[in-house]
Amino acid sequence: MEFPVKPFLTHGGADVPPRKSTEQIESAILPPPAQVVLPMQQHAGAPCAPLVKVGDEVLVGQKIADSDAFISAPIHASISGKVTAIKKVMLPGGQFSDAVVIDSDGEMKISPDLKPPVLETPSDLAKAARESGLVGLGGAGFPTHVKLSVQKDKPIDTLIVNAAECEPYITADDREIIENTQSIFDGISVVRRMLKIERVILAVEENKPDGIRKLKAIADGETNAESRICILTLPSRYPQGAEKVLIKACTNREIPIGKLPADVGCLVMNVTSVAFLANYLKTGMPLVKKRVTIDGSAIRNPQNVIVPVGTKIADVVDFCGGYRAEPKKLLMGGPMMGLSLADDSLPILKQNNGILAFDEQEARMNKPTSCIRCGRCVNSCPMNLIPTQLEKYSNAKDIEKLQEYDVMDCMECGSCAFNCPAGRPLVQAIRLGKGLVKAGGKK
Amino acid sequence: MAEKMIVSSSPHIKSGITTRKIMLDVIIALTPAAIASVIIFGPKALLLIVVSVASCVASEYVSRRVMKRENTIGDLSAVVTGLLLAFNVPVGVSPFIVIFGGITAIVVVKQMFGGIGQNFVNPALTARIILMASFPSEMSTWNKPFYYMQTTADAMTTASPLGILKSGASGTMPNLLSMFVGVRAGCLGETCAVALILGGIYLVYRKIISPVIPLCYIGTVAVLSLIAGRDVLFDLLAGGLLLGAIFMATDYATSPINFKGKIVYAVGAGIITMLIRIFGQLPEGVSFSIILMNILVPHIERLTRPLAFGKERVKK
């Protein structure tokens, strides 16, 4: 199969400010925190049930929760110590989940049971990914093993490694590329071999010159024609990293509404997920730590920090010198799609790639004024929707019109609201509209 | 973390563009034509512009007060309407006519339909049409360019170029260069083509308007003029075509928001303009063509809705 010479054209998007001030700073490693909180829901899909009880001693890498459901991913202890509580905690989205609380013994003792998995058949790869607890590390948290379970009637010909990282501020994937380049290639080669994928495209936004140089140095050194990887430089335009947009930019294929990448022969994996998979296959150490970008106007020393999953946000912020100003908004994820949090006692989850704290000035938003029908939202929409109409239909609770105008096709990237001169809460309205359609049932 | 956090829906950053900034850009783009009108038609032009803007802003302020709605004069859209209204009257009209026009545009056409973005026809143009119907002779009496510097006892008024063409009315047809720089009879802001084009380029450069509507509108007029065997350049420079195509047909509230819709709308306006110019009783058709297309916008938008990503066109 041929490699794309340059990215295919995609519609819409937004010229977001990059604000990637942490891209040059080497990731720091957080000393083991005194306590971690591990919610049973750190992925898209069914929540896990705890396998441990209060009073149990646990070791790093030990599985502490799992589920029988297919779309789910087990959870592992990220520090060694004692389970001191199993309690309800509020997740970033506002829903509640049980969480296992572990108090550290300060020793980070590693479970002796960990060993690298043996891969013989293609399904072994999916099994291994499931056991590792891997979820999409780009932010969505979709269990990786589900994607790797290729169905016979939907063959995959292209693996797209997503290193676009188009959200402002976030540089966690960028640092992964710079600090862990070889693992990315190792991971790609395993996935390619096991799933017999013809073509691999690693897509990265052009605003990461250091990472691109390192990737190209290895990719260009590949002499075997069949193992070549295309390093595709994308324009720095949000949301290049959104799955549907990325597939379009790399292959010119459009995922039909309601379908998945596999329906157009693509498998999309986040770059950090791929590198993690390579390390897991070498060491058997499941997903217990995560690199997160700590940034925003209220953070004293912005940087990337590698933290045990379940570390409280406040502990990581303290490690970064604390708040330089009163934080008025705290975000899990990037400023375009991240969730705003009520307080900093929440734990960092597996799929987290950033924590941002905004001071008063950065958190302030103008009051919405009337829509002037300028059409900027329409020009910004990567899904070719009409956000201003959707807002009106959502406010009018007109489920029929919402469906007619394809509200469910919206991926909530926020480009429309970012570009709206009237400051309309378009994404909020559309989200409510999607809720209405879901509740109202499809006709 | 003593204070409470703001919890709100994403996105959490904005581009910084506001309605006020957009309107300010439109005002900047209208400035060259305003200056040209004062040079060509004298201090009375300046007076009419000031009166028009003041009456529009005052109408906006008072009507919002009366309707117990938030004050919106800060978004500067009433200033834009005021400028455009002044641009659409001849220099000879009484300031009271302009005040009447300003009240009509803002109170009746804009605020009674809900304010900015809600009006379905262009306020300034609708006001102009109402003034044309209410004060037909004042609205079609054209002073000669530089009449205010005139010292002889010659006639101060003349016919507009389109009027001369239409009815063979007395008056000398200005040459194309005069028409390009605006030395011809006409409404205040419509005569100086070079100033209008400069403003249009500025708006496109600042991404305030897409060039689709002006280009399709002007292009359609040019093609039809050619087919009809008329002087193409004359048709482009005469009347209010440039003012209409660049500043009035591109009004956000009353033009389609999607690309295909803009083309249909602009081509439609071009066709109606030329039908009126060739077959109509009136010499000029820009105002009516834009208003007619304004009314069709909801239908155009419905029929030209872009196909959502990943959606197959349903065959009927």
Global ipTM: 0.92
Mean of the per-residue pLDDT values of chain B:
93
Residue B60 tokens, joined: 């906006």
Query: Average pLDDT of A278-305?
Result: 96
Please indicate whether, in this complex, the C-beta atoms of B10 and A375 are within 8 angstroms of each other: no
A133 plus A249 within the same structural domain: yes
Please indicate whether, in this complex, the C-beta atoms of A412 and B309 are within 8 angstroms of each other: no
Higher pLDDT, A301 or A152: A301
Percent of chain B with pLDDT over 70: 96
**pLDDT tens-digit series, residues A230-276:** 999 999 999 999 999 999 999 999 999 889 999 999 999 999 999 99
Q: Residues with Cβ < 8 Å from B174, sequence gap 6 or more?
A: B161, B183, B184
Chain centroid offset of residue A218 CA: 25
Closest Cβ–Cβ partner in B17, B117, B307 for A419:
B17
Confidence at residue A224, expressed as pLDDT on a 0 to 100 scale? 86
Please indicate whether, in this complex, the C-beta atoms of A15 and B15 are within 8 angstroms of each other: yes
Across A180-212, b (16+ Cβ under 10 Å) vs e yields bbebbbbbbbbbbebbebebbbbbbbebbeebb
| Cβ proximity of B141 and B157 under 8 Å | yes
Number of domains in chain A: 2
The verdict on residue A85 lying in a domain is no
3-state secondary structure of A239: coil
Q: Return the CATH class of domain B19-149+157-302.
A: mainly alpha
3-state secondary structure of A351: coil
**pLDDT tens-digit series, residues A176-203:** 999 999 999 999 999 999 999 999 999 9
Query: Average pLDDT of A371-378?
Result: 96
Please indicate whether, in this complex, the C-beta atoms of A372 and B306 are within 8 angstroms of each other: no
| Cβ proximity of A49 and A66 under 8 Å | yes
Closest Cβ–Cβ partner in A343, A378, A418 for B14:
A418
A265 plus A414 within the same structural domain: no
**pLDDT tens-digit series, residues B230-278:** 999 999 999 999 999 999 999 999 999 999 999 999 999 999 999 999 9
| Segment 420-439 of chain A within 8 Å of chain B by CB | 420-423, 425, 427-428, 431
Closest Cβ–Cβ partner in A244, A340, A423 for B7:
A340
**pLDDT tens-digit series, residues A422-443:** 999 999 999 999 999 999 865 4
Confidence at residue B250, expressed as pLDDT on a 0 to 100 scale? 97
Q: Which amino acid is at A223?
A: T
Confidence at residue A92, expressed as pLDDT on a 0 to 100 scale? 85
Please indicate whether, in this complex, the C-beta atoms of B10 and A337 are within 8 angstroms of each other: yes
Confidence at residue A435, expressed as pLDDT on a 0 to 100 scale? 94
Pairing state between β A289-295 and A354-358: parallel
Query: Average pLDDT of A205-210?
Result: 94
Q: In this model, does residue B315 exceed pLDDT 60?
A: no
The verdict on residue A418 lying in a domain is yes
The whole-angstrom separation of Cα B257 and Cα B119 is: 15
Please indicate whether, in this complex, the C-beta atoms of A374 and B257 are within 8 angstroms of each other: yes
Segments making up each domain of chain B, as ranges = 19-149+157-302
* pLDDT band, very low/low/confident/very high, at B170 (cuts 50, 70, 90): low
By 3-state DSSP, what share of chain A in percent is helix, strand and coil, each rounded to 5?
Answer: 30, 20, 50
* Residues of B whose CB is below 8 A from A346: none
**pLDDT tens-digit series, residues A398-427:** 999 999 999 999 999 999 999 999 999 999
When mean pLDDT is compared across A105-109, B21-25, B164-168, B244-248, the lowest value belongs to B164-168
CB contacts < 8 A, A to B, total 153
**pLDDT tens-digit series, residues A81-120:** 999 999 999 888 888 999 999 999 999 999 999 999 999 9
**pLDDT tens-digit series, residues B188-239:** 999 999 999 999 999 999 999 999 999 999 999 999 999 999 999 999 999 9
A381 plus A279 within the same structural domain: no
Confidence at residue B153, expressed as pLDDT on a 0 to 100 scale? 64
Q: Residues with Cβ < 8 Å from B58, sequence gap 6 or more?
A: B102
Boundary of a domain, candidates A236, A255, A283: A283
The whole-angstrom separation of Cα B159 and Cα A113 is: 98
Q: In this model, does residue B2 exceed pLDDT 60?
A: no
The whole-angstrom separation of Cα B280 and Cα B273 is: 10
Residue B215 tokens, joined: 């280009």
3-state secondary structure of A190: helix
The verdict on residue A97 lying in a domain is no
Higher pLDDT, A62 or B284: A62
* Residue A427, domain extent: 376-440
Confidence at residue A443, expressed as pLDDT on a 0 to 100 scale? 47
Mean of the per-residue pLDDT values of chain A:
94
The verdict on residue A240 lying in a domain is yes
Q: In this model, does residue A64 exceed pLDDT 60?
A: yes
Please indicate whether, in this complex, the C-beta atoms of A16 and B308 are within 8 angstroms of each other: no
| Segment 29-88 of chain A within 8 Å of chain B by CB | none
Which residues are paired to A135 by β-bridges? A143
Chain B residue with CA closest to A403: the answer is B308
B158: part of which helix (H) or strand (E)? strand B157-158
* pLDDT band, very low/low/confident/very high, at B169 (cuts 50, 70, 90): low
Closest Cβ–Cβ partner in B8, B17, B309 for A340:
B8
The verdict on residue A154 lying in a domain is yes
Confidence at residue B164, expressed as pLDDT on a 0 to 100 scale? 83
**pLDDT tens-digit series, residues B57-90:** 999 999 999 999 999 999 999 999 999 999 999 9
Boundary of a domain, candidates A283, A298, A324: A283
Q: In this model, does residue B1 exceed pLDDT 60?
A: no
Boundary of a domain, candidates A248, A283, A318: A283
A267 plus A408 within the same structural domain: no
Q: In this model, does residue B151 exceed pLDDT 80?
A: no
- CA nearest B190: which of B238, B138, B156? B238
Cβ–Cβ contact A376 with B under 8 A: yes
Confidence at residue B316, expressed as pLDDT on a 0 to 100 scale? 47
**pLDDT tens-digit series, residues B174-191:** 888 999 999 999 999 999
What are the Cα distances from residue B28, in Å, to A410, B76, B80, B151, B206? 36, 12, 10, 34, 11
Cβ–Cβ contact B114 with A under 8 A: yes
Virtual CA dihedral for B232, B235, B238, B243, nearest 10 degrees? -110
Please indicate whether, in this complex, the C-beta atoms of B14 and A420 are within 8 angstroms of each other: yes
The verdict on residue A294 lying in a domain is no
